[in-house]
Amino acid sequence: MKLYKRHILYICIYFGLFFSPFCITSVEAKDFVVVIDAGHGGHDPGALGKISKEKTINLNVALKLGKQIKRNCPDVKVVYTRERDVFIPLDRRAEIANNAKADLFISIHTNSVANNRTAKGASTWTLGLAKSDANLEVAKRENSVILYESDYKTRYAGFNPNSAESYIIFEFMQDKYMSQSVHLASLVQKEFRHTCKRADRGVHQAGFLVLKASAMPSILVELGFISHPEEERYLNSEAGSTTLANGIFRAFLSYKREHEIRMTGSSRTILPEETDAGRAEETNTAQEKADTTREKVNLPRETAQKPAASATNNTGTKQNTGKVSGGQTDNGSPVFKIQILTSSRPLASNDKRLKGLKDVEYYQEGGLYKYTYGSSTDYNKVIRTKREIAPKFKDAFIIAFKNGKKTNVSTAIEEFKKKRNK
């Protein structure tokens, strides 16, 4: 009798787990992990405005963003670096993301310019070498957080956030997530323009310590300028903080959907209805500007665009459908090229975006047409060519192919050096 009752109990538990939506949801593994980092906190107030502190704005938007994701994406795990007003060291923030095995890291901040009450607008940043003094100053301000840590010289290997020389290390960094990071940044900026109606200050790079140690696609968002009276009021308003969180959320949805399509060929993520008739064209322009950002690294960018149905090219440019055209070598040496721009559709040979370059090639990746110039197994030669076209394509960067397939450019450079030194 006891054995019979035990069998009945097991059967009830089994069917209860099988048919209960609650139980299914509770035991279902999360497919995607996003870490949301509210910048500053505790005894580190961040930038100071006339009526508020940066740390408060950052946390407010971060919590709203996380709430949006939790409410609409049951397959996503949201992890916060902080959920209240506490100080978290920069390296600990990255550690939280790495330990969570995050798919994305989004750090939320508020900008400021000393003695300037006119600067306004939102921007999004990725890791890299600052290409202007203004970009460097943003990185210095955000990295100065480490000065609140008593042992920062030891923890950050002597890094001085206020010394320009310390930032040279970012010139030689090889960030394999750069392409994904830049793409997400471009999506965020698109939403800041359209959904949030904010002044667009674009996608930039700088040496942020909090992004340096994160092992996943990572961005740092500057919501606006606390030093601008009008923007400070907006950032502190319920409408403003909600709108900004919603803009980042929409960008996150787009990125997640594209990620799923790239990984599985389909997506369960539903995007909000587009409200602006000109969004699609604007998105293409933003992506083209943001795609060509770094010289030494490029991995496939995630995109929701479907590959072209035909490999036929009527544009006058040479086609490279996922393989390098003429990139096969007898000795299997890597082939280096300069990526100059990206488009959602083939370009005519006389398209103004090509700026008069001849013998331009393209390859298809993620449904996008990525245009390249120059082709050589000699990395130094490609470097020289890149310098020649730099006035026309300031953000061009070098990519590599091996045996007709795209490969990690850092690995290709190392192989080139070894063969050269033989």
Q: For every one of its 422 residues, what pLDDT tens digit does the chain have, with 9 covering 90 and above?
A: 555 555 555 545 444 444 333 333 333 456 899 999 999 999 999 999 999 999 999 999 999 999 999 999 999 999 999 999 999 998 899 999 999 999 999 999 999 998 888 899 999 999 877 666 777 788 777 877 777 787 777 777 677 767 776 666 665 555 678 889 999 999 999 999 998 999 999 999 888 888 888 889 999 999 999 999 999 999 999 999 999 999 999 999 999 998 888 888 888 888 775 433 333 333 333 444 444 333 333 333 333 333 333 333 433 444 443 333 445 555 688 999 998 887 767 888 888 888 889 889 988 876 678 889 999 999 999 989 988 998 888 778 888 898 888 888 888 888 888 887 76
Q: Which helix (H) or strand (E) holds 58?
A: helix 54-72
Per-residue pLDDT at 209:
83
What is the C-alpha to C-alpha distance for residues 270 and 350, in angstroms, rounded to an integer?
A: 38
Quick one: how far is CA 341 from the chain centroid? 17
Per-residue pLDDT at 191:
95
Per-residue pLDDT at 246:
95
Per-residue pLDDT at 240:
95
Look-up of token digits 């299914």: 24
Task: Indicate the domain borders of the chain.
Answer: 30-264, 305-421
Per-residue buried b or exposed e for 144-179, using 16+ beta carbons within 10 Å of the residue's own CB: ebbeebeebeeebeebbbeeeebbeebeeeebebbb
DSSP per-residue codes, 279-348: HHHHHHHHHHHHHS--SS---PPP--PPPPS-----SSSEEESSB-TT---TT---EEEEEEEEESSPPP
Per-residue pLDDT at 183:
92
Q: What's the fold here for domain 30-264? A: Aminopeptidase (3.40.630)
Residues 6+ apart with CB under 8 A from 151: none
End-to-end, the C-alpha distance of the chain in Å comes to 81
Look-up of token digits 């996008």: 368
Q: Which residues face 370 on adjacent strands?
A: 342, 363
Per-residue pLDDT at 133:
74
CATH class entry, domain 305-421: alpha beta
Per-residue pLDDT at 16:
46
What is the C-alpha to C-alpha distance for residues 253 and 75, in angstroms, rounded to an integer?
A: 12
Per-residue pLDDT at 32:
93
Helix (H, G, I), strand (E, B) or coil at 84: coil
Question: Can you give the pTM of this predicted structure?
Answer: 0.58
